[in-house]
């Protein structure tokens, strides 16, 4: 089981990992990406989903999602 699937997300965008004992403050966008990852979506699928949902520039969105994935890897969640 991946570490991200073990996160407990609350309504205040706090993600808690009970096994690691770490908490992470996410924004709405980070919470949405985390939820999509937990649903098994790939990075490219997440970018497409968010691009269709929000009025944002595709390249900026791709960079933001890629940065979020990189941070998840740094924290050992992916």
pLDDT value at position 17?
93
pLDDT value at position 53?
96
- Between CA 35 and CA 30 the distance in angstroms is 9
Q: Domain residues for 41?
A: 3-74
List the pLDDT tens digit at each of the 78 positions of the chain. 478 999 999 999 999 999 989 999 999 999 999 999 999 999 999 999 999 999 999 999 999 999 999 999 999 998
Beta strands in 1-78 (DSSP E): 8-9, 14-17, 22-25
Query: How many domains are contained in the chain?
Result: 1
pLDDT value at position 34?
96
């Amino acid at each position: 089981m991946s570490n991200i699937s073990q996160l407990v997300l609350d309504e205040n965008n706090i993600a808690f990992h009970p096994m690691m004992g770490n908490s992470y403050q996410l924004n709405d966008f980070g919470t949405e990406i985390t939820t999509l990852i937990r649903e098994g979506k790939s990075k490219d699928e997440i970018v497409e989903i968010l691009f269709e949902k929000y009025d944002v520039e595709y390249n900026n969105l791709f960079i933001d999602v890629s940065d979020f994935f990189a941070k998840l890897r740094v924290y050992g969640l992916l």
